[in-house]
Amino acid sequence: MRLLIDDADIGEIKRLYDLYPVDGVTTNPSILAKANRKPFDVLKEIREFIGREADLHVQAIAKDAEGMVRDAQAIVNAFGEATFVKVPCIPEGFKAMRLLKEKGIRTTGTAIYTPMQAYLAAKSGASYAAPYINRIDDMGYDGIHVTKEIQDIFEVNHFETMVLAASFKNSQQVLELCKYGVGGATVAPAVMDKFVNNVAITAAVDVFVKDFEHLAGEGVTMAELL
């Protein structure tokens, strides 16, 4: 399962890239608004940091297909071919996905709340389909269940489109989808910080260090000793 950061704060992206095996970054207009910088500047800085080959997802803003195609071309021109253009899964969006597929521009079907949207994104040639787990939960449905249904639809129909699950509220949801074999998860920094969040783990490591220091002296590690 690919693991991406769902954020546009370059400081957070650098911190998490340093710690975790991250495959790329996803953004959306709300995430860019939160960063409160010029979209081009922040996206360019992210692209420079993650490198030309890493996945970067940037959303088209226009609400009609032709406008989405223009947005997509501008996005790929600005941030490179490894950039996936996020296209909302609305009727005009499906049209845009087909047009962009013909142009060789890769898309991520986004704002997915239902399996039907994901099916149509796959049929329209999207590379990824992004169901919003937490937002589906907030509507009174089961976001994990919906995402598993989407994965089943893709497998049974032999679609190449992969699930890129988004909008997580906890690490257990990420793990649940990892077990199910979805293609990717994009996770906000606050949730990623809870991936390894257990006092028993910290305590176990502290005891190891303490025991070794008892043997070798305070602050001494293998590097000093061997």
Residues lying near ligand G3P in the complex (CB under 6 A): 6, 26, 28, 31, 130, 132, 134-135, 166-167, 186
Work out how close the CB of 50 gets to ligand G3P at its nearest, in angstroms, rounded to a whole number.
16
- The residue from 86, 95, 123, 169 that is catalytic is 86
Work out how close the CB of 199 gets to ligand G3P at its nearest, in angstroms, rounded to a whole number.
27
Work out how close the CB of 128 gets to ligand G3P at its nearest, in angstroms, rounded to a whole number.
11
Work out how close the CB of 131 gets to ligand G3P at its nearest, in angstroms, rounded to a whole number.
9
Residue 183's identity, in one-letter code, is G
Known active-site residue 44: no
Interatomic CA distance for residues 76 and 67, integer angstroms: 14
The answer to whether 192 and 20 have CB atoms below 8 angstroms apart is: yes
The answer to whether 22 and 206 have CB atoms below 8 angstroms apart is: no
> Tokens 């220091």 — which residue?
213
Between residues 169 and 212, which has the closer beta carbon with respect to ligand G3P? 169
The answer to whether 110 and 60 have CB atoms below 8 angstroms apart is: no
Between residues 45 and 137, which has the closer beta carbon with respect to ligand G3P? 137
Between residues 13 and 130, which has the closer beta carbon with respect to ligand G3P? 130
The answer to whether 164 and 138 have CB atoms below 8 angstroms apart is: no
Between residues 134 and 170, which has the closer beta carbon with respect to ligand G3P? 134
Task: Taking each helix axis as running N to C, give the angle between helix 39-50 and helix 65-79, from 0 to 180 degrees, rounded to the nearest 10.
Answer: 50
Can you read off the two tokens belonging to residue 130?
Answer: 């992004």
Torsion of CA 73, 59, 33, 133, to 10 degrees: -170
Interatomic CA distance for residues 70 and 51, integer angstroms: 24
Active site residues: 86
